[in-house]
Chain A
Amino acid sequence: MNDLAPPAALTPASFKSAYKPIWCPGCGDFSVLSALTKALAKIAVPPEQIAVVSGIGCSSRIPAYTTCYGFHGVHGRALAAATGLKVARPDLTVIVTGGDGDGYSIGGNHFLHACRRNVDMTYIVMDNHVYGMTKGQPSPTTEPDWDSKLSPGGTGVRSFHPLVIALASGANFVARAFAGDPNGAADIIAQAIRHPGFAFIEVLSPCITFRPEQREWKQHAHPAPVGATDDPARAARRIMTDDGFNIGVLYAGSRRPYPAHVGKPGESPANLEAEFEL
C-alpha cells in the first residue's frame, strides 16, 4: 500500500470498475454492488488487497464490476477457490459473491464445509429464489408451488433455509440484508468483513424479470427487532421462527478462524530428506 495515500481517499467510486453491469433493469444486484463498494470504502482496504471470488450466475458477475482482484470461476465452486486463496494468502481480504443456485444447490456441499471450516472470509449470497441466467427455473430457495416450465405446478419440494444451515454448520457470523436498502446492506457487509472467521450474508435481492412479485419485498423487509446474539441456540430459534424478512446481524460468534501457515518461516526443505537416508 502506498503510504502517501491516506485511507480516507477511498470512496465507493474507488471500488467501482468502468464496466457497465450486464443485469436486467431493476435487478437487485445493482444495489448489492453499490452496497459492496460502500462497505469496501468503509473498511478502507485498497482494492488491490481485496479479491472478489465468484462462481456462475447473474450475481457472480460482480468481481469484474469492482476494481478489486477478481476470480470468476466455475458454477458452484466459488467458496472452494476462495478458501484456497485465503489460506494461501492470509494477507488478502477475500469476499465471495454468488446466487442461491450457485451457493445452495450445485455448491451446497462447499457451503456446509466453508461454514464449518471457518476460514476468515465473507460470503454474500444474492438470493432471488430463481435461476435467472438460465431464464427462470426453481432454485433451492424457491417456494414449492412456484410454477415454471421446468417444474410445472412447482417442485413440491420444501425450500432450503440457508441461514439456519449456516448457523448449524458453524458459520461465525450470520446476517440477512435487503438489496432495497443499500446503506443498511453496506453496514452489514462491512461488519461481516471485519468479523473474524467465516461470515455469511443472505441478501434478499429481487429478480423482477422472473419473479416480479418480489417487488413486494420492499413492503415486507424490516430491521430485526433485537441485535445480534452470540448464543447459537437463541439465534437458531429466532432464525427458524422469524418471518423471513428480519434484516440485520442475527448471530456473531467467537470461534477461532481456520489457521493459515503458508509463507510462515519454516525449516529448509532439505531437512525433509533425512528420513529417506539410509
Chain B
Amino acid sequence: MQATATTTTPRDAAAAPSARSASASLSIALAGSGGSGVMTAGTLLLHAAARAGLYGLMVRTSGPQIRGGEAAALVRIGHAPTSTLDDTFDLLLAIDWQNVHRFADEIPLRATSVMIGDPDEGEPPDAFRATGARYVPRPLKKTAKAIAGSWTNMVALGLAGALAGIPAAALEAAVRESWKRTAESLKANLTALQAGFDAAAGIEGVAGLRVANPGTSPRWLISGNEAAGLGAIRGGVRFVAAYPITPATELLEWMAPALARIGGTLLQAEDELASVNMIIGASYGGVPSLTATAGPGLALMTEGIGLAVAAEVPIVVVDVMRGGPSTGIPAKSEQSDLSFAVSGLTGDAPRLVLAPTSIADCLATTQWAVTLAETLQAPAIVLSDQFMGQSRAIIDRPADIAFAGRRLTTDANTPDYKRYRNTASGISPMAIPGTPGVVYTADGLEHTEAGIPNSGARDHELQLDKRERKLRQHDYGACWADIEGDGDLAVVTFGSVTAAVREAVARAALEGIAARLIALRLIAPARPEQMDAALAGVSRILVVEQNHGGQLLRYLRSVYDLPGKPAGYHRPGPLPLRPGEVTKAIVDWARAGQRAKEAA
C-alpha cells in the first residue's frame, strides 16, 4: 500500500474539540458484534499510532456473552501517554449495529461527533442518534467483499486510521508485523486497508492528530495485568498459585508461560483458600510468591492473609478489583475493595496495601509490593482494577528499577536463634527450610519469640507490637505517593482513576483553580509525617475515587489529621470515571469553598 498525498495530510488540528484537554487527543470507538474483529482493529490502530510517534490507550468492552456478543474497542490516541478515556468519543465506527446500542453509556457522543456505519447493516440506534452526532454511511462489508479474501475490520481500520491522521505506511506496517496468515491473505487485507483509508476522503469533522516524531525512546504496548505480572517477576516472584477469576485471569495466563520460561511455576489451585495457603507454603520455603484474584477470591483469602501476618510470611495478593459486593459486576471496574483490603482481617493484623496509579505503574508498584513484602515479612495487597488490568496502553519502556530491600534470612547454626525475635526494627531473620541448626515451626497461633504457641498476655502484646512496628517504622521513601503541583487545595486519589483525576486537575487549572494532586501508592500503613508534609499549606482536600461509599475518604479520615472538612467525589462503576465529571467536581467544590470563605 502506498500512501497518497491527499489521504495522509494531517487534518487541521485547530478543528479539534480537544481544547478541553491539556494535550490533544482523539477518541475512537470501534464497535460491532462478536467476531467482527473490532478488538484486532483497535489493537492494530494502537500499533500504527505508536509507529506514528503517538501514545494511546485501548479499553475493551463486551456484552455478557462469553463468545459472539457485541464488542467495542475504545481507543484514545494522543501526544502523551494516558491511562484514562476522554469524556466523549470523536468517532464511533460500527461494523454493524447488532446490540451496539447497549454501549450507549460507554460510548458517549456529542453533537460534533461523527458516526460511521455500514448502510447495509441498518441505521444507527436512537441512543446514539439522540446525541446529535452526524451519521456518515460507508459500505464497509461490500468494500471487503469486493476484495477476495479480505475482512471488513481491515476496511474499518484503514478508515479509522486515516481519520485519526495516521499515515498509511504506519497502518500497513502494523498489519504486516502482526500478520500470521498466508501472503495472499495479507495482500488482500492490505488492499482492504487501503480501500478503507481511501473511504475516509470527504468525511469532515474528525480532527486527526499531527503525527509526531517517534524518536528513539523504545515504547511498549502492555496491559495493566501484564505489567503487574512482569513487575512481580522483576521483584523476584517465582511461584504463583491461583484460581481463575475475571478480571485477574489474564494476569495469571500471562505469568504461567512466563514463569515456566524463567524457572518458576504457576499452579492452578482448587480454590482461593488453597491458592493463598499454597503461596504461603512456598514463601515459607524461601521462594517469593504471589497470587492474583478479584473481590470474591480476596474474600476467601482473608483467613490465609491473616496467617501470613501472624506467621510473618511474605506474600503478595494482587486484587484486580471489579464491581461488588459478592459476584457483583465481574467484567467492570470499581474501586470498592479498598475498605476490605485495609481492614478486612480478623484480629489486629497490620498489612501492606498498595495501588498502582496507571497501567505503566502496575509494573513498578507490583515490583515494589514484592520487595516490601519480602523485606517486611508481611502480606502485601495490590489494588489494581478491571479498567487498568484489562486495558492496553502505549507506554515508554519502563526503567529497570532495583528497589532496595530483600528478605532477611539467618545463617546455619546461629546460636540462640529465635524466629520471632523482638528486634528494634521488628524484622526478625527468617530461617529457610534446609538450613541446619535453626529449625522452627511457623505458627498462626500466637507465639513466643522462639515460635512456641503461647496465649499469655506478654507474648501477645510483644508480637502485636513487633508486627505493627516493622511496617510503621520502615522507610518507604518517596514512592508512597505521587505528589504533583501546589496550591492551597489538594485532590487526593488512588489507583486507576488517578489518570482521570490528573487530567481534571489540569483542566481545572485552566479555569484558574490551583490544586495539587496526591495519588497514594502506599495506602497502608499510613504515613502521617509524609502526609502532613504533602498537605503543608493546604486548606481543604477533595478525595476522588470510584465506589459508592467514599471508602478512601473514610479511611483517610480515620488515619490522618486532614485540614478543613474533607470532601469527596465518588461514584460506583461500571462506567469509568471521566476527566470532565471530575473537573466539574473540582471546580464546583473549589468555588463553593471560595464562596463560603468570602461569606465568612
Contact = CB atoms under 8 A, between A and B. Distances in A.
Nearest to A110: B274
A267 B239 CA distance: 16
A263 B263 contact: yes
Contacts of A91: 434
A130 interface: no
A186 B87 CA distance: 71
B230 A84 contact: no
B437 A48 contact: yes
Interface string B421-435: 000000000010111
B436 A74 contact: no
B271 interface: yes
A87 B270 contact: no
B442 A70 contact: yes
Interface stretch (A24-32, A206-214, A240-248, A270-278): A270-278
A51 B259 CA distance: 25
B281 interface: yes
A2 interface: yes
Give the residue among B239, B259, B269, B285 with the most A Cβ atoms within 10 A.
B285
Interface residues of B, number: 65
A179 to B, nearest CB: 22
B281 A81 contact: yes
B47 interface: yes
Contacts of B277: 73-74, 77, 80-81, 84
A73 B440 contact: no
Nearest to A48: B436
Contact of A70 (B278, B285, B434, B441): B441
A166 interface: no
Interface in A167-225: none
A42 to B, nearest CB: 20
Nearest to B274: A80
A95 interface: no
A113 B47 contact: no
B391 interface: no
Interface residues of A, number: 53
Interface stretch (B31-39, B100-108, B217-225, B516-524): B217-225
B442 A72 contact: yes
A265 B263 contact: yes
A272 B233 contact: yes
B282 A87 contact: yes
Contact of A63 (B47, B269, B282, B441): B441
B15 interface: no
A113 B278 CA distance: 13
B203 interface: no
Give the residue among B269, B281, B436 with the most A Cβ atoms within 10 A.
B281
Contacts of A264: 263
B287 A74 contact: no
B140 to A, nearest CB: 27
A40 interface: no
B153 to A, nearest CB: 20
A159 to B, nearest CB: 23
A109 interface: yes
Contacts of B220: 273, 276-278
B567 interface: no
B303 interface: yes
Interface string B441-474: 1111100000111000000000000000000000
B439 interface: yes
22 contacts: A19-B452, A51-B433, A68-B439, A71-B442, A72-B443, A72-B445, A77-B273, A77-B304, A80-B278, A84-B241, A84-B283, A85-B284, A85-B285, A88-B287, A110-B274, A260-B265, A261-B263, A269-B262, A272-B230, A273-B397, A277-B218, A278-B219
Given A82-B281, A261-B259, 19 more contacts: A2-B436, A46-B436, A64-B443, A64-B451, A67-B439, A71-B284, A71-B441, A83-B278, A84-B239, A88-B265, A88-B281, A88-B287, A262-B238, A262-B239, A263-B238, A263-B263, A266-B264, A276-B230, A277-B218
